[in-house]
Amino acid sequence: MSEEILQRDLRNPPKFGQWDFYNIGSTSVKTLKEYGIIRDINYGNEEKKKVDALLVQKKKVIAVIEYKKPSEFRTEKQKNKAIKQELEVARKLDAYILIATDTKETVWINVATGNVIKDENNNELKINFNHKDKKLPELFEKIIVSINNQNDQIKHNRLVNPTDLAKQIRQDIWSVSGAPPEDCLYTFIELFIFKYLSDLGVLTGIHGFNTLVNSYTTNSDIEVLENYATVIRPKIKELFPPNLVDNTTIINGSIFIYDQKAITSFSTVFKKVLLRFKDYGKLENIDYEFKSRLFESFLKESISKKNLGQYFTPLRVIRAIVEMAKDDIKEGITICDPACGVGKFLLEPLVTKLDYFYDIDEKGITPKIKIQGFDKGFDKNEQKTIILAKANMLIYFSELIRKNPGLTKEFSKLFNKSFTLKTNSILGTLSEPSNEEYELILTNPPYVTSGSSNLKEEIKKSGELVNYYKISAMGIEGLFMEWIIRALKPNGKTFVIVPDGIFNRQNDRNLRQFIIDECFIDGIISLPLNTFFTTNKKTYILCLTKKTNKNEIQTTPVFTYLVSEIGESRDIYRFNIEDDDLKEAVSLYSFFKGNKTNFEKINTNKRCKIQPFENFTPETYWSIDRWWTKEEKIELGIIEEDKIIDIIEFSEKLNDISNTIKEHSELLKEVAEKQKYVSEYKEISLSNKDYFNLFIGKRLTKKELIHINGNIPVYSANVKIPNSYNNQSNISDFSNNFVLWGIDGNFEFNFIPKNKPFTTTDHCGTIRILNDNILPEYLMMQLEKVKHKYGFDRGLRSSLKNMQNIKIKIPFDIEGNIDTEKQKEVVEKYEYVSKIREIINEYKIQIEELSIQIE
């Protein structure tokens, strides 16, 4: 081990707040990497450079500290030299902050820009760095949440954490109304905007917050509420006119107002809420995270998470996806979220670049980048998400509104164009086909929900939609996936959160084929259970690039990563925690993007595997978790070797199983409702030469099998997996589809498509399907269905003679032709039933392996 590291015993570094402080004393980056202090990746030429001290969290470098002698830190020239000396190293280490100090004077640098960090009053930060100062970690936290590639100044911290205010007001509203959390949030946001616009100077005089509050001295509680309803709310709507299509603006109602009239019974609590806002102080200098944290605070306090949570993606997950997509966010593009909820996927990419992406002058607002968010608003409750999204956008644009208070109507036009409510159909966004419109799509679409079959029925009513949704994907998520891919421009990218069903269901193999045909698969990141508030569903981040040429075959590998923790507890409380695999996944993905072919050689993270594209076929599962062995998962701490759970955990496990089975029951209903009329079924023998040709392979000795080599698979008793490979075949014509059966053993089947050479031994039988209208999948299903009838096993061999006695039922249509559509329907139902049986059996095994502690 490095002499420096040995001398300082850096195995147990002192803590600096939540971080580890490594006082290294001039050790090279390469050495730090080799001994596991920083991430094990290629740092290029900077590996030879040395650093004096680091702040690190889980190998992620937070700050680089450069110590200088006072004699080397007197002049500006000396200070600039010290900064320049370490800036490139800090950037390679992906640090936020660079500190140069002689212990008496300190220069603080934003690594992203190379500029000096400034305090809240826009003065150069002069606080001296001392790793023993217990007050400094709080300053570091402020700096980290404030600085970025567009900002060097520490933000005013007035509204960084509004949880207490939100909790108080939510309780006030709920205590008198019993309103669900989404209505409490909705009401809070309306009054927040009223106070906020007043503090910005947009609402003044009789329309201002202070005027209304002061009017309590001469007016009753009811009169003040009525004044707000009849004078102030109309003014806000005048300043921010509604979208004429969906009639939504930044406010559209609250529990205090119904049908534009005050609910006088709530006048007392209305006053109480206004006074809480007054006591809280001015809302200007608002932190852009306010809305997200506010939203989460209402979720945490909710009695029932169901309604509000369905629109919510944790901010940490959103920011991870935005970070992965940041290189694709450029001037001139349009970013879309077809299931936008409150708009965070679209607003987060812009937050640090508003001045760059929006030109504002006396003529109005010109966006250099467009955002387009859609959500369904078929009933009144659903419409609240778009209103919240527009309110959210207003908060994001607070500084621009403050500088341009006379352009409220122009801002309203921008908000209305950015977020649109789809009210014409229960399909929402899915009701309007989109083809090659967007360069980037970031989204978390809804998953399988009760009534998904109703959406399919709605699609059938429109010829345009039937021709658009041609894949017959399962559930709502499948429809959204098809919409997303069709809506992407060539070379466009999507980062979409998908449930595991898309990756596993045999019925969705057509969707997986569609993804392969249309896109390059860049990466799949596995998210842990309970990442989302309202579901324990297993989910993934799927990263795709739309092909410019559909005939191009993917040759690059696929980035995969197992995330166990996302930096916050996965319960209703969502406390910040130190463990954060998601952040590491995002960092490694950025390295992978720049060096796809060679990244595997330098990757040492066991949570990350670079998979060959050949692993991704329509017939295989894409749930990447299965590609780590049990032993690997135990080593990573993902699973415990001997899992012992208490009764509460066992109850939760059973609830998870129940929810999953219920979801699949809904999908099974969707499959079952597919019913095509058939004129008749005919029994056809496998000996019928018009339809089939049966033959047995050639005998090969064990010695021959061992020495065979080539690239043509050889199938024997095990028809699922080739026994070996040869350079020639016993079959000359491969222009038909084939079904193989195992003569000895379990009488299993396999399907070999046209034009794919293979060879067989005398332990393997082959059925050449002479009529292309007979689907090999259907034939295999029928053989599986009747095998018990013929009793084939090791005692009664499925010889060529015995196989020719088998008769199977084939559907024919009214014109006397073999009905392929009915075959597809039957196969789909059969496979889905088999899949559900498999899932239930997996759960049975899981339960049997559990040890339940009963005390």
Q: Where are the domains of the chain?
A: 3-146, 680-818
Mean pLDDT value across residues 350-358: 80
Collapsing DSSP to helix, strand or coil, 254 comes out as strand
Q: Given this model, what pLDDT does residue 222 score?
A: 95
Is the pLDDT score of 305 beyond 50? no
**Angle between the N-to-C axes of helices 452-460 and 475-487, in degrees from 0 to 180, rounded to the nearest 10:** 50
Residue in this structure with the two tokens 């500088």, named with its chain if needed: 403
pLDDT in tens, 39-85: 878 888 888 888 889 999 878 899 999 999 888 888 888 888 888 88
pLDDT in tens, 82-133: 888 889 999 988 899 999 999 889 999 999 999 999 988 889 998 999 988 8
- Is residue 543 within 8 A of residue 524, CB to CB? The reply is yes
Q: Residue 159 — pLDDT band, cuts 50, 70, 90?
A: very low
Is the pLDDT score of 493 beyond 70? yes
**Range with the largest mean pLDDT of 282-291, 502-511, 556-565, 626-635:** 556-565
User: Considering the chain, what is the average pLDDT of its residues?
Assistant: 84
Q: Given this model, what pLDDT does residue 229 score?
A: 93
Radius of gyration of the chain from its Cα atoms, rounded to whole angstroms: 32
Collapsing DSSP to helix, strand or coil, 621 comes out as coil
Q: Given this model, what pLDDT does residue 391 score?
A: 86
d(CA 487, CA 338): 10
Mean pLDDT value across residues 327-354: 89
Strands of 29-135 (E only): list them: 50-57, 60-67, 97-101, 106-110, 115-116
Q: Residue 299 — pLDDT band, cuts 50, 70, 90?
A: low
d(CA 216, CA 223): 9
Q: Given this model, what pLDDT does residue 128 score?
A: 92
Percent with pLDDT over 70 in the chain: 86
Q: Given this model, what pLDDT does residue 165 score?
A: 72
Predicted TM-score of the model (pTM):
0.68
pLDDT in tens, 239-268: 999 888 888 888 876 788 877 788 888 899
Is the pLDDT score of 473 beyond 90? no
Collapsing DSSP to helix, strand or coil, 65 comes out as strand
Which residues fall within 8 angstroms of residue 614, CB to CB, at 6 or more apart?
none
Q: Residue 519 — pLDDT band, cuts 50, 70, 90?
A: very high
Q: Which of 126-130, 151-155, 580-584 has the lowest mean pLDDT?
A: 151-155
Is the pLDDT score of 322 beyond 90? yes
CATH class for domain 680-818? Answer: alpha beta
Mean pLDDT value across residues 226-244: 92
Q: Which of 33-47, 360-374, 684-698 has the lowest mean pLDDT?
A: 33-47
Q: Residue 10 — pLDDT band, cuts 50, 70, 90?
A: low
**Bridge partners of residue 172, in order along the sequence:** none
Q: Residue 518 — pLDDT band, cuts 50, 70, 90?
A: very high
